Structure 1
Amino acid sequence: MANPAGTTTQPAAEIPADDLTRELTLANPEDPKSRHISVAGGTYTILVTGKETGGRYSLIDMLVPPGGGPPPHRHDFEEMFTILDGEIELTFRGSTYLAGAGSTVNIPANAPHAFRNVSDKPARMLCMCTPAGQEEFFMAVGDPVGSRTAPPPKLSDAERAERMQRAKSLSASYRTQLLA
């Protein structure tokens, strides 16, 4: 049977057998074993990695302080944010949008974008990347911190410059292009 016009449902196929090598993932951002990384002025907690999803996606809990957020960038994977608390200003292809608690935003692959917390309170959002890999980039360029709410480490100007240079030098390996 053909798919109705305009749908994205895949054609019918036999569902493969259960892959018993894959395990259930139960993630809690407050779990002491969670990995918390300071990136772009915020604290990112890696909830679900590509290793746990067969590379299909990753899920990151982002705590973005006032003024926090990454510089303009783009990457060849989809990125979706659900704002849990606060408000985020998004720049997408040069236009600016506000997304508040309860909003979900999907950034298409390859599109230039950035986000910033322009409020005076922390914002919290979930970030899903598909396929996975962005979580590995964050772990490679960020600084480990002790908890989901831990402040970023106090870095000297030289240390901040080194982190930015590290991000620039590694970004292509993680299918990302920094635009600023």
Structure 2
Amino acid sequence: MIPDDDPSRELTVANPAAPGTTYVSLVGNTYAMLVTGEQTAGRYCLIDMRVPDGGGPPPHRHDFEEMFTVLEGSVEFTFRGEKHTVSAGSTVNIPANAPHHFRNTSGAPARMLCMCTPAGQDEYFLRVGDLVAGPDAAPPQLSEEELKERRHRAAELAPEYRSVFL
């Protein structure tokens, strides 16, 4: 049997251009929080990622599934040490616990949708990144001390969000 409908949960319509969308700058990328764990009762989150040429996170792994759909450009994914170049229109699923990272090596900006199941990555990004005004806002100009503090905070909070940097 499936449970009864939960009328306290509402329909979510996600549009990165909608007023009120939260944008976070993190490691030079800009992430729009489209659907949060709060909206899905923790089941998943959906993030619109804008990744400049050369952008991407350091190698890491986590105990949740992560799926990327490349919308614009191409992105190089390194999965368990093996590189895969993925172009617009393709989807990549990263199994839980597998070491991976991605890098935009295309010479042009790239854009992806990232779904994490269960949610939590949305909260992590909000806690370690910097809020920006929109998708085209320049990342904040951080001093060396501020960059060091952001890296420290990211590493310190990673275990709370079931992640580890490699």
Task: State the TM-score, normalizing by the size of structure 2.
Answer: 0.98
**Please, which of 115, 120, 137 is the counterpart of residue 150 of structure 1?**
137
C-alpha displacement of 1:35? 0.4
Q: CA deviation at 1:93?
A: 0.4
Other-structure match for 1:92: 79
Identity of aligned residues (%): 62
Per-residue deviation, residues 36-60 of structure 1 (Å, max 9, x unmatched): 0001210000000111111110000
* SS at structure 1 position matched to 2:38: helix
Instruction: Identify which of 96, 108, 111 aligns with 1:121.
Output: 108
User: Secondary structure, in 3 states, of the residue corresponding to 1:160?
Assistant: helix
Return the alpha-carbon distance in structure 2 between the equivalents of residues 148 and 28 of structure 1.
12
- Structure-2 separation of matches of 1:57 and 1:160: 29
Is 1:103 the counterpart of 2:90? The answer is: yes
Deviation at 1:164, TM superposition (A): 0.5
C-alpha separation between the residues in 1 aligned to 2:8 and 2:68? Answer: 30
Q: SS of the counterpart of 2:156? A: helix
- CA offset at residue 160 of structure 1? 1.1
Q: Which amino acid aligns with 1:48?
A: V
Specify the SS of the correspondent of 2:153: helix
Q: Secondary structure of 1:158's match?
A: helix
Structure 1 runs, 4 residues or longer, greater than 3 Å off: none
Give the aligned partner of residue 38 of structure 2: 51
Equivalent residue number for residue 123 of structure 2: 136
Residue in 2 aligned with 1:61? 48
Q: Secondary structure at the match of 1:137?
A: helix
Q: Deviations over 1:23-45 (max 9, x none)?
A: 11111101120000001210000
**Structure 1 length as normaliser, TM-score?**
0.90
List gaps (5 residues or longer) in structure 2: none
Q: Look at both structures and tell me which one has the larger radius of gyration over its CA atoms.
A: 1
Q: Determine if the alignment matches structure 1 residue 20 to structure 2 residue 23.
A: no
Tell me how far apart the structure 2 counterparts of residues 81 and 149 of structure 1 sit (CA, whole Å): 21
Question: Deviations along 1:76-103, whole A, 9 cap, x unmatched?
Answer: 0000000000010011101111000001
Aligned length: 166
